[in-house]
Amino acid sequence: MSLTFHAIAIAPAISALKNAHAFISKGHQHALANNIDPETYLAASLHPDMKDFRFQIYRATDAIKFVPPRINPALQDMTLPDEEKTFEELLARIEKTIKYLEGFSVQDFEGTEGNEVVLKLAAMGKQIRSPALEYVVRFAHPNMWFHLVTAYDILRMKGVDVGKFDFLNGAKSFVVEDLQQQQQQQQ
């Protein structure tokens, strides 16, 4: 089996968003179980000059939903206005992004690795030009991961019991085995 551009560009993002959905759901449940106003988490940021939790989810989903049409202009874009205010709405945004990404096939990305991507960063007065593969691995993915880890860190800062495996495998897409338990069973 050969590695496809789809496997590089889309598969890790789907996994990341599924894990984010799981740890964000855990954050929402934590607020409800502890009679904490969810707005306390949603309006929180790590530092006064950083944006809040909602913004992190907006940018994480935007960072990856822009990938398909930027690397292959023939692909349909998805509009996601930044209107979500509640945990439920943010989780629905993530679900919508996952469904959108799952709609693309290996063929949609075949031969597009070298396509030029021009990314205008109007707020910064800058522009980036790069081959599609470089755009994905050096800009789009790191941008998505940055915002997801920031959202995760906000929940941690607020006392939500999320750990590394919630971030890496919250959706339980791979099996985590207890080695100590295996050793006991073998004895």
pLDDT tens track for 32-77: 999 999 999 999 999 999 999 999 999 999 999 999 999 999 999 9
pLDDT, tens only, 70-99? 999 999 999 999 999 999 999 999 999 999
CATH code of the domain containing 64? 1.20.120.450
User: Could you tell me the CA-to-CA distances from 64 to 70, 145, 155 in Å, in that order?
Assistant: 10, 10, 22
- In this structure, are residues 154 and 167 in contact, taking their beta carbons and an 8 Å threshold? no
Residue ranges with strand state E in the chain: 116-121, 126-131
* pTM across the whole model: 0.92
Per the structure, the complete domain to which residue 55 belongs is given by: 5-186
Question: Structurally, how many domains does the chain consist of?
Answer: 1
Backbone angles phi, psi at 110, to 5 degrees: -60, 125
